[in-house]
Structure 1
Amino acid sequence: MNFEINIIGSIDHIDKVNGNIDAELILENGEVYTATFFTLENIKNIMQKDKKSGESANGIYFCASDMIIVDIITEKIIYDTFKDLIESNDISWACTKIK
């Protein structure tokens, strides 16, 4: 199946090892799905920040809808992740359909 990705914001300006970014998957049938890609390091840093700020019950948990965790954030990894989710028929539970 052919598809396109739309990365929200500039992937060139985020920390690829300690970052997160929103992306959309646009299927050839017009369906659009959304997800946020996080690195493990980014989740760790968010939880440490929350321990200091008191958010998320003082950093005891982290949650995000449509979360996909990757080692590093690159356009190729986002593309390959979406491709695998489509091929494995897991896209509908891993991401939210927005159109």
Structure 2
Amino acid sequence: MTITDSTSVARFLLGPDTDAEESVANVDVFVDLSDGSSWALTIFTVDEVRRLLAKWKETGEVANGSYFRAVDQLIVPEPGVAAMTAAIRELVRSGEVASVCVRSRAPG
């Protein structure tokens, strides 16, 4: 799914198992800026982080679910592409996209 606005294009990599854009809780996104740069991040909801920690506690992964970390993560309070797009817009507006995301293509 692609969301385009005046300052960026956000490409949400929704998988075939995603129920609906309103309920997505864990998704990889590429953000393309007007300067030609592209940035990658993964967006989680708070509840998705809780779910993963509980799962890992049961499976023994990630030190029995004792922590959650990701280099390019952004955590939002609610699911859905609309909430995630609002967060991306703020990252672009504030210039924080470079500190939260990982560069996937340089400008030019």
TM-score by length of 2: 0.80
Letter in 2 for 1:86: V
TM-score when normalising by structure 1: 0.86
For 1:4, the equivalent position in structure 2 comes to 9
Question: Of residues 64, 75, 78 in structure 2, which corresponds to 1:69?
Answer: 75
- The percent identity for this pair of structures is 24
Count of residue pairs the alignment pairs up: 98
Can you give the 5+ residue segments of structure 2 that lack an aligned partner in the other structure?
1-5
Output the aligned Cα RMSD: 2.0
Q: Summarize the alignment of residues 10-49 of structure 1 with structure 2, pairs less than 5 Å apart.
A: 10=15, 13=19, 16=23, 19-49=25-55
Structure 1: 5+ residue stretches without partners: none
Aligned to 2:56: 50
Higher helix share: 1
